[in-house]
Structures are given as C-alpha cells and as structure tokens.
Amino acid sequence: MASGVIKCKAAVAWEAGKPLSIEEVEVAPPKAHEVRIKIVATAVCHTDAYTLSGADPEGCFPVILGHEGAGIVESVGEGVTKVKKGDTVIPLYIPQCGECKFCKNPKTNLCQKIRVTQGKGVMPDGTSRFTCKGKQIFHFMGTSTFSEYTVVADISVAKIDAAAPLDKVCLLGCGISTGYGAAVNTAKVEPGSTCAVFGLGGVGLAVIMGCKVAGASRIIGIDINKDKYAKAKEFGATECISPQDSKKPIQEVLVEMTDGGVDYSFECIGNVGVMRAALEACHKGWGLSVIVGVAAAGQEISTRPFQLVTGRTWKGTAFGGWKSVDSVPKLVTEYMSKKIKVDEFVTHTLPFDKINEAFELMHSGKSIRTVLKF
C-alpha cells in the first residue's frame, strides 16, 4: 500500500511563456484507484510547448507538464488490481477504462471516463497530488511526467515488459504511437499505395514508418526544413520535397508527381492551411487524408465540398487510434522484436535538469526527440 508524501524534483511551469523551473515538490500518496510512479525517463513533445506558450485554452498554471514518460510503480491506492509496486509502466494521456461507451466501441480509442477532470488539471476526485512552496500545482494530460514521481489514475497506466529500456520506450507514450497508428489504424494504408507525409518531425517520421510497415511503395516526405530529409529517408521516405521549391501550391505539385494525387496523406504539423493542401493532394475517387497535427484553439479548416463529393475522405486521429492500455504493451513488444523503430527517434539525451535545453532543441528543429533522464 501507499506510504506517505514524497519530496522530489520536478519541472514546474509557474506561468505561461516562462521557462520551466526545477523545484522540490511534494507528491501525495495515491488515493483509491490511483498509482504513484517513479518516472525514469521522459521526453519533450510539441504539445507540452503548446500549453506552456499559453495558447492552450485548457492550460492551467502552475502545472507540471510532460506526457511522454516511462517508469516504475512506487505504490498503489486501494482498489488497484491491474498493476502493483515494482511494475514497469507507461503513463497514458488517453486512458482505457473498458466500461464507458467509447471503450466499448471498437471504432474509437477516446475513453471519456476522466476526460473532464483531466482537462481541468486535477485527479478524478477533483484534487491535485502535487504541491510546491505551499501552492497546489496542477496535473497535465493526466500524466505530468516532468516530475521524479507522479500520480495517475489506474486506468491511465499500461504495464509493459520489464526488460524494455525506459529511456527509449517512453516515446511510445505519445509521438511514435500517434504517427504509427495514424498510418496502420486510422488510414489503414494498403500495400503498393502512394503516401504523402506533411511535417517530418517525430510524428511525421512515425507515420513514414507505419506506411512502410504497411507496404506502401512510394512515400513522399514534405517539409520546408531540408535538414529533415536524410532522417525521413532512413525511416522509409522514397523522396522528399519542399513547398518552397515551387511557385505552384504543394497540392498541385503532388498531383502532378503522382498521376492524379496520393492514395493517403497525413498532416503532422497542426497548420490548417497545410491540412487543406494535404486533402487536395489526394487522388479523386479514393484518396484519404488524416489530420494528425493539433491546430491552435479556434482555428478552422476549409476546402471546397466538391473535394469530398468527388470521393476524397477527411479523417482525424488521436494517439493513433490505439486503445491505450491494450495496445501500448503490444507496441513495446513490437519494438523489442524490431518490427518498429524507437531508438532512431532519440537524437539527444540530457539530464532532467536541462529540460529547458530540450525545449530549445525542439523549437530550433535540431532534434527529433530529446529524452530526459532522472
């Protein structure tokens, strides 16, 4: 059972737009149906930066960010049966309760059991487990992995193979699973098809990997940063192009390159103009475009309805469509058996105290993923 309060290191975002501050925080023991985890490794994703910037309408401060992490169960609250002290786990920002109508429907992975409280930055009982300098600190995405210890709901943990290297598989908590699943689950890419991937960051590379695993014969990477091309080709892109190299809109360039358009396209940026281009780069009659990137709050997408009337499909995906508790352990197994890449996404490894450097690397476009180790 749970012991008392733990004092440990965490990166606190005191307010929007300011660097994170390494602080000593108190982490309360887990209550019923909660799990306290010792985080071993965590990575930085654009979603953390989006909330830190102040642009996220659900953003609450002060907060402990982070949602790509892995660790060991330190203690469990009463009623917890799925994991025990010592288990190796990945915290999940999309839980899987198995009971709500979303969990019972095979068409979605969007468990809604704790959605409202998670969005408000608190545990399911409406309170926080974090305090610092006498102030309550909010949780983030139900995970808060930028802390040496965190508390999550028991439906928000996946128990994984204890032999897995946590400084690698932490990436399966968000970016890799999201991109890979966008290709294999949401788009259901078919062998021999032609794909276009807009945005060659971590998620875009994972989409390329998924397209390749699914047997796509042509995978076109699109990014204005040409430094990203070599890595994209290593992951399976057959060619890479920049929208800035042509006076024509990128969708026209792609339609010409592919005799009418691609079979599948993926937007991995979060830019509504690029989302339109990705749809319009699809082939008439059967082309399918998946929105993977998260656009800023309040932005809207547009295209002419004729694009859809003439047989294109526009879809979106969250966490790659994976039902999280069931799927993340399987993804770890696929990595351990070398079916999917994970190590290749890690371009930098830093001690946890250098977390602000990890954000700088991401914004500069110099990193794919930076893993922070405690």
Catalytic site positions? 45-47, 67-68, 97, 100, 103, 111, 115, 174, 369
Q: What is the largest CA-CA distance in the chain?
A: 65
Is residue 42 a contact partner of residue 146, using CB atoms and an 8 Å limit?
yes
Q: What is the CA radius of gyration of the chain?
A: 20
Residue with tokens 């192009």: 241
CA distance 172 to 92: 10
> CA 360, 363, 364, 368 torsion: positive or negative?
positive
For residue 88, count CB atoms less than 10 angstroms from its CB and return exposed for 0-12, middle for 13-18, buried for 19 or more.
buried
Give the C-alpha separation, 2 to 21, whole Å. 28
**Nearest Cα to 63, choosing from 124, 10, 1, 125?**
10
CA–CA separation, 353 and 335 (whole Å) = 28
Query: How far is residue 114 from each of residues 90, 122, 142, 174, 213, measured CA to CA in Å?
Result: 18, 10, 9, 18, 33
8 Å CB contact between 128 and 151: no
Cis peptide before 62 (omega within 30 of 0): yes
- Nearest to 279, CA basis, from 246, 321, 307, 248: 307
Residue 54 CA from chain centroid, whole number:
19
Write phi, then psi, for 322 (nearest 5 degrees): -75, 130
Phi, psi of 100 (to 5 degrees): -75, 165
The Cα–Cα gap between 147 and 6 comes to 11
Quickly tell me which residue has 């992975």 as its tokens. 109
